Amino acid sequence: MISAAGVAPLRLALAVLATTGPVGGCVADQERPAMSADSLDGLPIWEGHAPEVFDDNIEPAAVGFSLDGPSPRSDPFLRERAQTADVVARVRVSTVTVDSIGDQSSYHLAVQVIDAPLATPRLPDRAFELHIRPTSRAFGVAKAVDARLRGLTFIAFLRRFASEAGEPEFHWHLSPDTAEVTAAVKEAVVLGELSAP
C-alpha cells in the first residue's frame, strides 16, 4: 500500500512517462502512423550505396562512343544490379522528350521491354519512363546524342525507390545491348539463385 506521502511522487513519475513515451525514446509500433495498402512501405531509399549501383547512367559504349570498353564482367556493380533490379531486360527507346526551363534541360526516355526479361521481373510493367536530370550521370550522353537515342536498344536495370516526395521513382542503369553483357547478366542471375537461401 502506498502512503499519502508517496502518492505525489508516483503521480509525477507517471506524468513524466506519459509525456516522454517509452524509455529510450523508441516509438512503439502502435504509435507509428498506419501505412495505406498502396504505400511505399518496403521500398528502399536512393541513398548510400544505391546511387552507385542504380546510377541513372548510360554507358558511353552503349551509344557508340567507345567500341573498346571494358568487359562487363569487370563492372563491379553488374552482379548486384542483375540480382537486385526489379526489371532486367532488353529495352528500346520509343520516344525522347526534352523539357527546358531557362538554360536547364531534362530528358524523358520512354522505353519498352522488347524480349523476355533476363531475370524474373518483380513488376509486370513492360513500359517505363526514365528521367535524366541535369545532375544525372547520363546527362552528358543524353545531351550529346539527343533525339538519336530514339530507337536505340540497351540492357536495362531498373529498380523502384521511395522518393523524397513520398512517390515511387525509378533509378536505373543502361548497358550496351551486346551478347557479352547478356551472358554476364544471365551468369549473375544464376549465381544469385544458387546462393539464395
DSSP per position, 24-89: GGPPPGGGSPPPPTTS-TTPPBS-TTHHHHS--EE-GGGGTS-SSPPPGGG-TTHHHHHHH-SEEE
pLDDT per position as a tens digit, 66-121: 766 667 878 999 999 999 999 999 999 999 999 988 888 899 999 999 999 999 99
Q: Is 100 helix (H, G, I), strand (E, B) or coil?
A: strand
pLDDT band at 165 (very low <50, low <70, confident <90, very high): confident
Residue 78 corresponds to which cell in the numbers above?
A: 553488374
Task: Decide the pairing of beta strands 153-162 and 168-176.
Answer: antiparallel
Q: For residues 6 and 58, which has the higher predicted lDDT (pLDDT)?
A: 58
Q: Is 43 within the bounds of a domain?
A: no
Helix, strand, coil percentages, rounded to 5, for the chain:
35, 25, 40
> CB-based contacts of 163: which residues, under 8 Å, 6+ apart?
46, 169
Asked if the model's pLDDT at residue 158 lies above 60, the reply is yes
R_g of the chain, CA atoms, integer Å: 24
Q: Is 4 within the bounds of a domain?
A: no
Q: How many domains does the chain have?
A: 1
Q: Is 171 within the bounds of a domain?
A: yes
Global pTM reads 0.77
Q: Is 27:21 a contact under the CB 8 Å cutoff?
A: yes
Q: Is 24 within the bounds of a domain?
A: no
Looking at the DSSP bridge assignments, the partners of residue 159 are 171
Q: Is 97 within the bounds of a domain?
A: yes
Q: Is 5 within the bounds of a domain?
A: no
Q: Is 155:182 a contact under the CB 8 Å cutoff?
A: yes
What is the domain-level CATH number for residue 68? 2.40.50.120
Q: Is 95:70 a contact under the CB 8 Å cutoff?
A: no
* Calpha distance 47→136 (Å, rounded): 14
Looking at the DSSP bridge assignments, the partners of residue 93 are 111
Q: Is 185 within the bounds of a domain?
A: yes
Q: Is 14 within the bounds of a domain?
A: no
What is the domain range of residue 67?
50-195
